[in-house]
Structure 1
Amino acid sequence: MKFWISSILYIFLCTTQAQEIYFPSDTLWESRSPETFDLNLDAAIDFAKKNEYSGARDLEQAILKGFEREPFHKIMGPVKRRGGPAGMILKNGYKIAEWGDVQRVDMTFSVTKSFLSTTALIAIQKNIIHNLNDTVSGYVWDGTFDGPHNSKITWKHLLQQNSDWSGELWDSHDWADRPSANGNIDSWRSRKLNEPGTFFKYNDVRVNVLAYSLLQVFRKPLPAVLKENIMDPIGASHSWRWFGYDNSWTTIDGYKMQSVSGGGHSGGGMFINTEDMARFGLLFLSNGVWNDQKLLEKDLIKEALIPSTSNTNYGYMWWLNAKGDRHMDGLDHDLFYAAGFGGNFIIIDQKQKLVIVTRWLEPSKLEDFLNLIYKNQ
């Protein structure tokens, strides 16, 4: 009798735990009042609406202005005029707030990097990449990783943005992307290379090298990989698109394929609506499980959120609220987020079971916005 009761109790507890997070269907997303969870979000939503990103809504103008000091910078991929502030807040998976047009498809810039790193996790899960500590030259042998420096670069180095890969890809030079404030073209070209893994540098050319390398090992376009393994299973809409550049095409197995970009710094990247961003965030809130389907291994997500030795606020293309230069005081140090130009964010708090998506928020106002959400917790 005791064994029978214990078994029933165990099944009940497992079922209860599985139901802690609600997962929306393809067509229905249940809402709850913030007050249900003792939250008042009025001030935070009002703040997001009043603190719109100060750059132009014509994103071609905003991009060219934002990166005007980079030599040879130009628009090479699609660009789309943006909408106004928009966002969603989920608690336990339920929608507890939304503002703006959450179904409008907009560029999301470097938030794309977190989608890109997810395809790398899929490659590990499928044993397409055996170990992230493997050198990429063992998989990509077309010259991209030739030489005494580049040959030492691992998949982990690319994911943590500390590879210091040196070269040219799609007519873009690594040294021309966000060059140091001091110096000139000659000094940037001839700079001393850092040992892979020792120096963090946010650099879209090197991120695009990762995308190109993953395309080589999957042997099919990364948007198709993401759609099949993540976006379709989580019920994302059919409106999102992931672009590369006009010239970022290669031939694999006789088929012409586009290598996508990891952001919109030169155009391209992920074009997506707010609801689909929230679904993606909810998948990471639940450690890779959607309903009863395991899409990503929990241990891989945990690994992706380990601070790198070269930047304690960065994992595998996720920003971390650990102690460091980007730590936000008053917010939990385990909070992590995807961030993109123009104030695009997916913030995930696994302890409080919150997913917060905000778009076109003045980037310097993120911490103030989050503090308004958490002040009543």
Structure 2
Amino acid sequence: NPALLAEAEQLARAGEINNTRDMEESHYRSFGREPFGQAIGPFEKRGEPTGLVIYKGFIVAAWGEPLKPDMTHSVTKSFLSTTVGLALQAGLIRSVKDKVAPYVPPIETWTTETHRPAEAYGSTELLHPFASVHNQGISWEHLLQQSSDWEGTLWGKPDWADRPDADPKPDADPKKWLNRPRQAPGTVFEYNDVRVNLLALATTSVWRKPLPEVLKEKIMDPIGASSTWRWTGYRNAWIVLDGKPVQSVSGGGHWGGGMIISAEDMGRFGLLCLRQGKWGQQQLMDPAWLAAAETPSPAKNDYGYMNYFLNTNKALLPSAPEKAYYHLGNGNNIVYVDREHDLVVVLRWIEGKSMDPVIGKIIASLPKP
């Protein structure tokens, strides 16, 4: 129904998020105010509110700037978890139940300095991200489900500095951030980009090559994605792999970086998920992996693997089927996947309260069975 699709577009445009389009300015108005919140990755000024409706594999509606590469923020996490799934398919990871520590050796960070200052004598030159007793108990699944409670600092960002747990009063005691008891891995969900970036580092170590190369070869090229997407990281997140400098990319735009990608390329990825990892005659992703990614995690029943937000009990999207889900990033950026209606929807720069009305209007526009 073209009229209802036009109404969906109007709702989406009217629901544009009330934030500056300058992503760097937006950072310093929000996450940049956290401890150690300085930006260390690139930002891209965002475009118009954008939408893409893909029904039965065909684009039936589009608005805004569907070809503009924009920051997709935490939708990047879904691309990151995909590279973990591909490592599982390739036999590089035996099971997501495995502890991560045995897979990750001491990691050399890349630097142009040839001599260490005397003040650094006796300190380690290598990263040992799973050395502590607590961290040794963390599995791949814990990281994928954001329930690891990993402790440490990575790329200059302590785990506690991301959305710190503290009394909101100005005189809140910082010791609450530093000395809280650790939760057993797998028991408590906490959305935390430091730990997401840890998963990227561990997965890079397993693949022994940059994750953007893995994603390009295994997913993006086979699904016909454009040449305009880029997966970026932090300026200080470089390691040495087999004698070469390699950037360990970030899983979002929390301090800059992450995936910069068009709505059309996001839609292709959503269509791959809709089709259980199959593109044409190629089975690119294991359907069993997608089934696991779409399964509610023990610590949070509307979250699977990162960044699959599930419509459990129709709580996130009352107008959508319970089995539908979306990949979510700040902004908001979503890739909605609905097998019941053979439907993929990409929405960019939309406020949260407008998402369900737009999705509901799109579903209402479809032919009735």
Instruction: Provide the TM-score with structure 2 as the length reference.
Output: 0.90
Q: Structure 1, residues 269-313: CA drift from partner, whole Å, max 9, x if none? A: 000001000000000000000011110111111111110000001
Q: Which residue of structure 2 lines up, in the alignment, with residue 152 of structure 1?
A: 137
For the residues of structure 2 that align with 1:67 and 1:97, how far apart are their CA atoms? 34
8 Å CA contact 2:160–2:177 kept in 1: the answer is: yes
Alignment match of 1:340 (pick from 318, 326, 329): 329
Q: Supply the AA of the counterpart residue of 1:159.
A: L
For the residues of structure 2 that align with 1:116 and 1:260, how far apart are their CA atoms? 9
For the residues of structure 2 that align with 1:68 and 1:60, how far apart are their CA atoms? 9
* CA shift for structure 1 position 376: 4.6
1:165 maps onto 2:150 in alignment? yes
Q: Which residue of structure 2 lines up, in the alignment, with residue 53 of structure 1?
A: 17
For the residues of structure 1 that align with 2:313 and 2:137, how far apart are their CA atoms? 29
For the residues of structure 1 that align with 2:105 and 2:173, how far apart are their CA atoms? 32
1:229 maps onto 2:218 in alignment? yes
Q: Helix, strand or coil: the match of 1:88?
A: strand
Q: Which residue of structure 2 lines up, in the alignment, with residue 31 of structure 1?
A: none
For the residues of structure 1 that align with 2:166 and 2:7, how far apart are their CA atoms? 38
* CA shift for structure 1 position 327: 3.0
8 Å CA contact 2:319–2:359 kept in 1: the answer is: no
* CA shift for structure 1 position 179: 1.1
Count of residue correspondences: 340
5+ residue gaps, structure 2, are 107-127
Q: Structure 1, residues 227-250: CA drift from partner, whole Å, max 9, x if none? A: 000000000000000011000000
8 Å CA contact 1:312–1:322 kept in 2: the answer is: yes
1:310 maps onto 2:299 in alignment? yes
* CA shift for structure 1 position 68: 4.4
Q: Supply the AA of the counterpart residue of 1:319.
A: F
Q: Helix, strand or coil: the match of 1:259?
A: strand
8 Å CA contact 1:177–1:203 kept in 2: the answer is: yes
For the residues of structure 2 that align with 1:237 and 1:375, how far apart are their CA atoms? 31
Q: Which residue of structure 2 lines up, in the alignment, with residue 371 of structure 1?
A: 360
- Tell me whether 252-261 or 330-339 shows the greater mean CA deviation: 330-339
For the residues of structure 2 that align with 1:225 and 1:184, how far apart are their CA atoms? 43
For the residues of structure 1 that align with 2:193 and 2:175, how far apart are their CA atoms? 21
Q: Which residue of structure 2 lines up, in the alignment, with residue 64 of structure 1?
A: 28
Give me the CA root mean square deviation.
1.3
1:248 maps onto 2:233 in alignment? no
Q: Structure 1, residues 85-129: CA drift from partner, whole Å, max 9, x if none? A: 111000111111000111111101001000100001100000100
Q: Which residue of structure 2 lines up, in the alignment, with residue 8 of structure 1?
A: none
Q: Structure 1, residues 183-218: CA drift from partner, whole Å, max 9, x if none? A: 532210111110000000000000000000000000
8 Å CA contact 1:132–1:154 kept in 2: the answer is: yes
5+ residue gaps, structure 1, are 1-33
Q: Which residue of structure 2 lines up, in the alignment, with residue 131 of structure 1?
A: 95
Amino-acid identity (%)? 45
- Tell me whether 140-149 or 277-286 shows the greater mean CA deviation: 140-149
**Larger RCO: Structure 1 or Structure 2 (Cα < 8 Å, ≥ 6 residues apart)?**
2
For the residues of structure 1 that align with 2:90 and 2:336, how far apart are their CA atoms? 27
Q: Which residue of structure 2 lines up, in the alignment, with residue 106 of structure 1?
A: 70
- Tell me whether 205-214 or 52-61 shows the greater mean CA deviation: 52-61
Q: Which residue of structure 2 lines up, in the alignment, with residue 272 of structure 1?
A: 261
Q: Helix, strand or coil: the match of 2:96?
A: coil
* CA shift for structure 1 position 180: 2.1
Q: Supply the AA of the counterpart residue of 2:326.
A: Y
1:89 maps onto 2:53 in alignment? yes
Q: Helix, strand or coil: the match of 1:319?
A: strand
* CA shift for structure 1 position 181: 4.3
Q: Which residue of structure 2 lines up, in the alignment, with residue 5 of structure 1?
A: none
* CA shift for structure 1 position 323: 2.9
For the residues of structure 2 that align with 1:376 and 1:224, how far apart are their CA atoms? 39
Q: Supply the AA of the counterpart residue of 2:100.
A: V
Q: Which residue of structure 2 lines up, in the alignment, with residue 30 of structure 1?
A: none
* CA shift for structure 1 position 53: 1.3
Q: Which residue of structure 1 lines up, in the alignment, with residue 251 of structure 2?
A: 262
8 Å CA contact 1:158–1:210 kept in 2: the answer is: yes
8 Å CA contact 2:250–2:257 kept in 1: the answer is: yes
For the residues of structure 1 that align with 2:59 and 2:224, how far apart are their CA atoms? 15
Alignment match of 1:281 (pick from 270, 292, 303): 270
* CA shift for structure 1 position 374: 2.4
* CA shift for structure 1 position 69: 4.2
8 Å CA contact 1:312–1:323 kept in 2: the answer is: no
For the residues of structure 2 that align with 1:184 and 1:108, how far apart are their CA atoms? 34
8 Å CA contact 1:132–1:155 kept in 2: the answer is: yes
8 Å CA contact 2:32–2:38 kept in 1: the answer is: no
For the residues of structure 2 that align with 1:254 and 1:363, how far apart are their CA atoms? 45
For the residues of structure 2 that align with 1:170 and 1:359, how far apart are their CA atoms? 29
8 Å CA contact 1:229–1:295 kept in 2: the answer is: yes
Q: Which residue of structure 2 lines up, in the alignment, with residue 26 of structure 1?
A: none
Q: Which residue of structure 1 lines up, in the alignment, with residue 160 of structure 2?
A: 175
Q: Helix, strand or coil: the match of 2:313?
A: coil
- Following superposition of structure 1 onto structure 2, how do residues 191-210 of structure 1 map, counting pairs within 5 Å? 191-210=180-199
Q: Structure 1, residues 6-26: CA drift from partner, whole Å, max 9, x if none? A: xxxxxxxxxxxxxxxxxxxxx
Q: Helix, strand or coil: the match of 1:227?
A: helix
